[in-house]
Amino acid sequence: MKISIEEASKILYKGGVIAIPTETVYGLAADATNKKSIERIYEIKNRPADNPLICHFHSFDQAKPFLSIYPKYVESLVSQLTPGPVSFLLPLKTRSSLQAATRGSSHVIIRIPMHEMLLKLLKKITFPLAAPSANTSGRFSATTAEMVEADLGNKIDGVLDGGPSSIGLESTILDCRKSDEIKILRPGAIGKEDIEWCLRNENIKVIDSLSIEQTTPGSKYKHYSPATQVFQIQSIKDIPLIKNVAVLGFSEDLKTISLDENIKFISLGSQNNLPEVASLLYRKMFELDALKVTNAYLIKKDFGNSTIGKAISNRLEHMLSR
Ligand code: TXA
Ligand code: MG
């Protein structure tokens, strides 16, 4: 059920759980300080109970009262990069009202999103919003209201439809716990170079750890996967001769191959337009699952070393079946 900002605010005050648009992916949101509502997020998503939730604020000023002492560079970094598609792992005050959202951790990930509709909602309410991506645990994130409705529509109290997410991949997560070092825990649209530029006058090391795996609780779980099994192939010649399969490729591939009618081709866009590939990626996974094919095959590609290229490679690696 689609709802207005006004309705969204009322539902949240009553402890409800709704889907919200962000520029990265849709979130499944509730009052971050309401324990019961937080538990409902876990139920709805079927999310492992030890996997903490990102908390969304309209400004860093709103977040500050929740934080304990953080490194000096944080203020400057946050002011240059937000509102925007980036999140910060920071120390939380003891006995914080956000501890249900952080699962008891003494650290919280904060995010100040730039989606206008969401910012309006955040300014209307007096609490931050805990919001993991709006998808059943393990699946790819939703980037349109329709995708949320299809996956979770009957379990939630409404969807605030803010159109397709413009970036299409989850926020970059920065570990800002150390005073002289920042670790990129999850690659996204904000990259190492952006951070280095913001901190060009300071002596802070930025580490591109390119995987959240060893570092955050959520990383041990499966991520970003469609229901259809996806296998990687080197070229179109490697598709096994079975019926009813799909190929995930790029518009450039279409020029060099001819497909027989048993094979459905899903174009992820042009390799020369990676921001577009990123913004469409999860929508294409949604299309793939709707095809109900036996298997899908992804033609291996090198996306290079650009920030968005690395973020795309990271998500594709996670969604492959092994
Ligand atoms: O773009 C995004 O970040 C989206 C939108 C909705 O804001 N949110 C999102 O949330 O991707 P989620 O829950 O799908 O991914 C957040 C990741 C998870 O791997 C989780 O384990 C980790 O961040 N995380 C959240 N809070 C944490 C904390 N306090 N300490 C360590 N890891 C945390
Ligand atoms: Mg997620």
27 lines ligand 1 (CB under 6 A): yes
Residue at 221 is within a domain: no
Is residue 215 in some structural domain? Answer: no
Same domain for 79 and 113, yes or no, is yes
Distance CA 140, CA 293 (A): 18
Number of the ligand 1 atom closest to the C-alpha atom of 185? 23
Structural domain containing residue 235: 230-319
Domain count, the chain: 2
Q: How far is the CA of 102 from the centre of ligand 1 (A)?
A: 10
Q: Are residues 255 and 315 part of one domain?
A: yes
10-residue stretch averages of pLDDT, the chain, 322 residues long: 97 98 98 98 97 98 98 97 98 96 97 98 98 96 98 97 98 97 97 97 90 54 84 86 87 77 88 96 96 93 94 92 75
For atom 18 of ligand 1, which residue has the closest CA?
218
Q: Would 297 be classed as within a structural domain?
A: yes
Cβ of 111 below 6 Å from ligand 1: yes
Residue-wise pLDDT tens digits, 120-154: 999 999 999 999 999 999 999 999 999 999 999 99
Same domain for 82 and 150, yes or no, is yes
Other Cβ atoms within 10 Å of 199 Cβ, number: 17
Note whether 313 and 236 are same-domain residues.
Answer: yes
| CATH number, domain with residue 18 | 3.90.870.10
The answer to whether the CB of 265 falls within 8 A of the CB of 259 is: yes
Please state the atom number of ligand 1 nearest to the C-alpha of residue 28: 6
How confident is the model at residue 261, as a pLDDT?
73
Ligand 1: which residue has its CA nearest to atom 12? Answer: 132
The answer to the question of residue 224 being in a domain is no
Residues 236, 203 share a domain: no
* Phi-psi category of residue 267: left, alpha or beta, with phi > 0 → left and psi -120 to 50 → alpha: beta
Ligand 1 atom nearest the C-alpha of 27 is 6
Instruction: Tell whether 136 and 56 lie within a shared domain.
Output: yes
- What's the CA gap between 128 and 57, in Å, rounded? 5
- Regarding the beta carbon of 165 and ligand 1, being less than 6 Å apart is answered no
Q: Is residue 89 part of a domain?
A: yes
User: Which CATH number covers residue 237?
Assistant: 3.40.50.11030
pLDDT digits (tens, 9 = 90+) for 172-208: 999 999 999 999 999 999 999 999 999 999 999 999 9
In which order are the strands placed within the sheet that holds 230-233? 230-233, 295-299, 245-249, 263-267
Ligand nearest to the CA of 87: 1
